[in-house]
Amino acid sequence: MIEYHFILAEGGTFTFQVDPDQPPQPSARHAEWARLGFHQCGLCPLRESTHPCCPAAVAVEAIAQRFASLVSYQAARVVIRTADREYARDCDVQTGLRSLLGLVMANSECPVLAHFRGLARFHLPFANLEETVFRTVSAYLLKQHFAHREGGVTDWDLTHLTRFYEQLQEVNRAFHHRLLNASTQDANLNALVSLNYMAMGVTFSLEDQLLELRRLFPPPTA
């Protein structure tokens, strides 16, 4: 279990629990903006007949409701506890919320975001661009290793990795319309925008980031 605690400087504490082994399941009642057909992502293969609600919206709904009236620059201490360690950071609400949204959306049953579920399982709060590239590429190559062992198609050249991040950006753009209807202030919206900037950073600078990481590894020997 991963626990996020937001201790607001102006008073109040919000706590959220995320089980990386159990995606959130829909309940009997959800907000109108959580319906699958409400600004449904163009990539989404789901149908309302079988999925009345967007899986990512189901995962985010309770969080979005808590932060609906908060401004993004409000100061907070964000404490994250996992089974093995604890993280803490003094930051604005937007920064902590970006980290939490990235976790819960990747941990949802959204079929597009399923590519990032491994990152949710091994969540790193407050990851910067370099850390995100390192973790993403490592997880992607591990996936290729398993595909190779099981006789599947492999992509050692990372050809499709950038495509996954382009798809993530499209999901985020569509999801922005949902959060517009879920919020009266900008904390939710700016956290999602910040999350999308990170995805754009991976897409546009992957090769440059890989060149920077190259120095961490010794050259191959004959």
> Please, are residues 97 and 187 in contact by the beta-carbon 8 Å criterion?
yes
Q: Which two tokens stand for residue 71?
A: 């401004």
Q: How confident is the model at residue 24 (pLDDT cuts 50, 70, 90)?
A: confident
% of the chain with per-residue pLDDT over 90: 59
If phi over 0 gives left and psi between -120 and 50 gives alpha, with beta otherwise, what is residue 126? Answer: left
Amino acid identity of 102? G
Give the start-to-end residue ranges of the domains of the chain: 2-214
Element (H, E) at 88: strand 86-92
The average confidence (pLDDT) of the chain is 90
pLDDT of residue 110: 92
pLDDT digits (tens, 9 = 90+) for 191-222: 999 988 888 888 888 888 888 888 888 887 76
pLDDT of residue 137: 92
pLDDT of residue 67: 93
pLDDT of residue 99: 94
pLDDT of residue 222: 60
pLDDT exceeds cutoff 90 at 10: no
pLDDT of residue 117: 87
Over the Cα atoms of the chain, what is R_g?
A: 18
CA 180, 28, 96, 192 torsion-angle sign: negative
pLDDT of residue 207: 87
Amino acid identity of 78? V
Look up the pTM and report it: 0.88
pLDDT of residue 165: 87
pLDDT digits (tens, 9 = 90+) for 73-93: 999 999 999 989 999 999 999
Separation CA 182–CA 136 (nearest Å): 30
pLDDT digits (tens, 9 = 90+) for 118-140: 888 899 999 998 999 999 999 99
> Please, are residues 148 and 154 in contact by the beta-carbon 8 Å criterion?
yes
pLDDT of residue 66: 92
> Please, are residues 138 and 112 in contact by the beta-carbon 8 Å criterion?
no
Instruction: Say whether 215 sits in a helix, a strand or coil.
Output: coil
